[in-house]
Amino acid sequence: MNQKKILIVEDDEITAMNLQISLQKHGYNIIGICNNIADANSRINALSPEIVIIDISLDETCDGIELAKEIRARYKLPFIYLTSYTDNETIEQAKLTHPYGYIVKPFDPNSLHATIQMALFKYDSEQTTNDELSHLKVEKLNLEKLLYAKKDVNEPIVNFGQGYHLDISICETFYKGEKIRLTKKENAFLRLLVSQMGVVVSFEQAMKYVWEENGATENSVRTLVWRLRNKLEIDIIKNASGVGYYIEE
């Protein structure tokens, strides 16, 4: 397995040693052991761990929670709490930092390994989602630019089809001056088509732009188009068999 880099923040030497031995047996790379916040911050900056294991009660205080807040705010790293405290007050404080796991001492090596794996998986999933959302924001920005380039010289409208226009200032579609009542998804799909008039919008493009979440299928797009066509006075949406849909320029 890929040796994930782990930083241990634990002020009890015996516990820290047991952690190191246990984790090394599972194939992890222990890049450092710290017993205070200052040392932990220095090691994180210098060594770039992929996950941090934090004892909540450093120096018999809740300094571990303060460190976790810094890690989330400054480093955006996953972290797991290791603690002997199970009282409600401590747990509530810990929950506010959104940890990726919570292990109670004395720890079970296999449970700790499983918790680390789940934490890394959750973190990777979050990063993938964030990347997809960032890409989607770029796509939306490009779409707005395309619509702006097609607008009337004197008004914020884009004419299309026979008697239709899209008012890009209020994100509404009209037919011969009358507003067409569309759902959010119908409106988004029509904007996508209008922004790329003459070009086929694929099923994949539609699913990514209109739904913005997992679970949409080609049938979801087909159903949306069927509903949208029922609301249009003149059907201007053309099929590109097996590929997607388009509006003629």
pLDDT in tens, 180-224: 999 999 998 998 888 888 888 888 888 888 887 667 889 999 999
What SS3 class is residue 227?
Answer: helix
| 123/14 Cα distance (integer angstroms) | 29
| 157/175 Cα distance (integer angstroms) | 12
Q: What is the pLDDT of residue 138?
A: 43
Is residue 135's pLDDT more than 60? no
Report the CATH fold assignment for 151-247: Arc Repressor Mutant, subunit A (1.10.10)
Domain with CATH 1.10.10.10 in the chain: 151-247
* Number of residues in the chain: 249
Q: Which range, 47-56, 62-71, 120-129, is most confident?
A: 47-56
Nearest residue to 75 (alpha-carbon basis) of 43, 101, 106: 43
Domain with CATH 3.40.50.2300 in the chain: 5-130
Q: What is the pLDDT of residue 143?
A: 77
Q: What is the pLDDT of residue 197?
A: 85
Report the CATH fold assignment for 5-130: Rossmann fold (3.40.50)
What is the mean pLDDT of the segment spanning 153-172?
Answer: 89
Give the range among 30-34, 35-39, 85-89, 154-158 with minimum mean pLDDT. 85-89
| 62/55 Cα distance (integer angstroms) | 9
Is residue 87's pLDDT more than 80? no
Is residue 1's pLDDT more than 60? no
Percent of the chain with pLDDT over 90: 39
Which two three-digit tokens encode residue 55? 């004892």
What is the mean pLDDT of the segment spanning 38-46?
Answer: 91
Is residue 112's pLDDT more than 80? yes
Is residue 173's pLDDT more than 60? yes
Predicted TM-score (pTM) of the model is 0.55
Residue with tokens 């220095």: 42
> What does the mean pLDDT of the chain come to?
86
Is residue 142's pLDDT more than 80? no
Q: What is the pLDDT of residue 133?
A: 45
